[in-house]
Amino acid sequence: MSDDAPPPAEMAPAQYIEKVSLLTGEVLDDEILPKHLLVSGHRDYHVVDVQARWFMSQLVDVTGDEDVVRGAMKQVRKIGGAAQNLLSRVIGESTSDRLGKALFGYKDREYYFRYRRHSVPKNEIYSVIHRLQDEAKNKLEGHRGADGKLAVRTLLTGGTGFVGKEVMWQAAHDDQVSEVVVVIRPKQIRDRKTKEVVKTLSPADRGALLLDQLWLDDAQRKKFRFVAGDVEQPNLGIADDDLAELERTLTHVIHSAASVSFDDPYEKSFLANVTGTLNALAFSHRLQSSEGSPFVAHLGIETSYIHGRQVRQVAREDEVVFPRNFYNNYYELTKAMASIETERFMLEKGLRVVQLNPAIVIGEGRAGNNRGDAKVVNAPVNVFGRAKEALQDDEKGMIEWSKGWVLAQMACVFPGDASAELNLIPVDRVAEGIIAALKKPRAVGERIHLATDNRITSERIRDVVKEEIGVNVRLADPTIHRNFTLPALSRVLGGLGQKRLANGLEKLGTIFGGYSEWGQPIHEVGNDVRILGMSEPRPNTEQAFRMLCRHNRYVQRFGQLKDDDEISRREKVWWDFCLDLEKKHGQPVGSLQAELFKREVDDGIDLEAFARK
């Protein structure tokens, strides 16, 4: 589907969003296309506009005060507006706005977007939530044994995903989780050359392989059961016999399945994130409505970036408003729509729901293990690492080495403002929050950010990459990089026959362009500790990012290792090695200096066989 074509009616943004006149306050009957809701749909690529945003970025770096810079730029804009009006009178231009657009890239919107309200009056919302919390508390108490221990039986979607695997691992080690039913599709294995199907793995087959990769013993494995299903189908595609049994036994549903590709088109993102969520909500509502049902609550795993680009205010946990500065991509937009559907099911249908909203999820904090994930923050780190390795290949001739050096210089550019703060959260903290929410009826009706309050800047990311990988990454202003540098690099790389690298850099620019500009949203945190009882302080973000770099360098070989079984074997060796280092030094491994850690690796691991020495 083209960005200029309206989506099918069942996917129309107008189901959730309305366009309102700033002049009259009336709802406008204009068509709303998905692209209208993204940051990219409202950027002016006028050279003056680009330079103005770059200049603001530089001022923030110098002053360290975004509010002062915003105030200064308002004054500059006023002066520019006055000059625009004066010049239009001098040259006889009747439309001042048109002149401003041509000369300065000025544009004024006479409308704004907002989310449609649900049908429950605002003064009744809290009473509905308190009633649902009381119901959840009573239901949960019914699942305690004589010793006070809970017996939670949950269904999990997205179990083969990055977060889902960590949820399974933690559930396996939690004696209050009795059973986890994982919804999983059969998988076809195709011949690499002919593409013919040579084997089909059943859900049970896939599940057995997954449990092998999670290092679980026989007793832990007995907690898990795998059923065929598909979140994009009604009733999650679960067969009637399985469905009838689940209605009698399940206490919770954890809906973790989603599309986490930031560059997916709108229709694909909508199917995965909104349609999948609607099917999961309807499934949970069916469980809750069944006679004699033991069902307690539905846990929706969303993202803290449902708040989009909240540049001037804190993104609060207790509300979702359409962001003044729009969304970075269709992933954020469709996850926000899914959150609205979750809230609607709660308020209008009485479904007991918990909304858990992770920030940008990275490998777990102690060792950096990510179970083979190579997306999001892993992607640029792997690109930088492979660029360095290419230069260290002694078998290349001088011409090839020189070409490799040029390509490495192009690859080691990160579109990030030095002051931009990224909210990275280790996957084990996210899974800990999900498991905790199973046991906290007070969480029903709440939105809980699984995020951090010690964010890491692009500048610090650059410095850690230098220390851990030995790569000199150059930060490029995202605005200039997106509009000028990246197109030029793509043309050069295309001419050198490096279209794959060009596509990779374009993808990185698309993914990180919005998350590494100055003025990133500040996600409110507190419900993780106050409601879920999680620990303070929150994970040390810099240490977690160091472990990401170390893991990707030694375990995954910068994303070049693809075999899940081999990654699992290596991660177990790595995990044990990191835990031993913790005991030896009496501190987290992520706090060890880069050179000291490298010596410990050289002394403790045979990297060729990837085994302990």
Which DSSP letter does residue 473 get? P
CA angle 405, 410, 412 (to 5 degrees): 90
Minimum mean pLDDT among 100-104, 268-272, 380-384: which range? 100-104
- Residues paired with residue 255 on neighbouring β-strands, in sequence order: 157, 300
- 97 pLDDT exceeds 80? no
pLDDT higher than threshold 60 for residue 606: yes
What SS3 state is found at 183?
Answer: strand
Residue labelled with tokens 């009616």: 9
User: What is the average pLDDT across 240-256?
Assistant: 96
Cα–Cα dist 100/83, whole Å: 9
Strand partners, 177: 152
pLDDT of the residue at 208: 94
Strands 197-201, 224-228: pairing is unpaired
Q: Give the pLDDT band (50/70/90) at residue 486.
A: confident
pLDDT at 422 over 70: yes
Lowest mean pLDDT among 1-5, 90-94, 375-379, 502-506: 90-94
Pair type for strands 177-184 and 224-228: parallel
Helical spans, DSSP H, in 120-223: 122-141, 162-172, 203-213, 218-221
pLDDT digits 0-9 by tens, 331-383? 999 999 999 999 999 999 999 999 999 999 999 999 999 999 988 889 889 88
Determine the pLDDT at residue 497: 76
Token pair 């977060």 in the structure block, residue: 163
CA nearest to 431, candidates 165, 136, 182, 155: 165
- 54-77 confidence digits (pLDDT tens): 566 666 666 666 666 666 656 655
Task: List the one residue out of 40, 36, 39 whose CA is nearest residue 5.
Answer: 36
CA angle at 341 for the pair 339 and 343, rounded to the nearest 5°: 70
Beta bridge partners of 17: 115
Please say whether the beta carbons of 36 and 28 come within 8 A: no
User: Which comes out higher in pLDDT, residue 449 or 119?
Assistant: 449
Banded pLDDT at 88 (limits 50, 70, 90) = low
Q: How confident is the model at residue 99 (pLDDT cuts 50, 70, 90)?
A: very low
Contacts of 295 (CB under 8 A, 6+ apart): 139, 250, 251, 252, 284, 287, 288, 352
Eight-class DSSP state of 306:
G
CA torsion angle for 169, 259, 490, 516 (degrees, to 10)? -70
Other C-beta atoms closer than 10 Å to the C-beta of 167 total 27
User: Could you write out the DSSP letters of every residue in 402-445?
Assistant: HHHHHHHHHHSEEE--TT-EE-EEEHHHHHHHHHHHTT-GGGTT
Give 416's pLDDT tier (boundaries 50, 70, 90): confident
The beta-strand segments (E) located in 122-243 are 152-157, 177-184, 187-190, 197-201, 224-228
Do the Cβ atoms of 97 and 110 come closer than 8 Å? Answer: no
Lowest mean pLDDT among 44-48, 227-231, 434-438: 44-48
In the prediction, which pLDDT does 516 show?
80
Tokens of residue 372, six digits: 């083979």
On whether the CB atoms of residues 328 and 308 are closer than 8 A, the answer is yes
The pLDDT assigned to 526 comes to 97
* Tokens 């689940």, located at residue: 246
**Looking at residue 92, what is its pLDDT?**
57
For residue 353, give the 3-state DSSP assignment. strand
Query: Which amino acid would we find at residue 120?
Result: V
Cis bond before residue 6 (omega within 30° of 0): no
Instruction: Return the domain boundaries, the chain.
Output: 18-114, 120-358, 378-423+458-561
Contacts of 35 (CB under 8 A, 6+ apart): 3, 4, 41, 266
Lowest mean pLDDT segment, chosen from 95-104, 136-145, 283-292: 95-104
Would you call 28 helix, strand, or coil by DSSP?
Answer: strand
Q: What is the pLDDT of residues 293-308, one digit of tens each?
A: 999 999 999 999 999 9
Structure tokens at 5: 């074509």
Give the pLDDT score at 367. Answer: 97
Least confident of 42-46, 109-113, 418-422: 42-46
Helix ranges (DSSP H) in 392-426: 398-411
What is the percent of the chain where pLDDT is above 70?
A: 84
Per-residue tokens: 587:
């501190």
Determine the pLDDT at residue 491.
81
Task: State the Cα–Cα distance between residues 384 and 369, nearest whole angstrom.
Answer: 19
Give the domain 120-358 fold. Rossmann fold (3.40.50)
As a whole-number percent, the residues of the chain with pLDDT over 90 amount to 62
Mean pLDDT confidence for 447-461: 95
Compute the distance between CA of residue 125 and CA of residue 416 in angstroms, rounded to an integer.
Answer: 41
Encode pLDDT of 194-223 as tens digits: 778 788 889 999 999 999 999 999 999 999
**Per-residue pLDDT averaged across 253-273, rounded?**
90
Q: How far apart are CA 342 and CA 299, in angstroms?
A: 10
What pLDDT does 578 receive? Answer: 98
Quick one: average pLDDT of 571-591? 97
Distances in whole angstroms, Cα of residue 99 to Cα of each of 44, 50, 80, 274, 562:
14, 17, 11, 42, 55
Whether the per-residue pLDDT at 490 is higher than 90: the answer is no
pLDDT tops 90 at residue 603: yes
Structure token pair of residue 320? 């979702």
User: What is the β-pairing status of strands 424-426 and 474-476?
Assistant: unpaired
* pLDDT tens figures, 124-140: 999 999 999 999 999 99
pLDDT computed for residue 106 by the predictor: 46
Confidence (pLDDT) at 102: 47
- State the average pLDDT for the chain: 87
Give the integer Cα–Cα distance in Å for 3 and 6. 8
**Which carries the bigger pLDDT value, residue 487 or residue 606?**
606
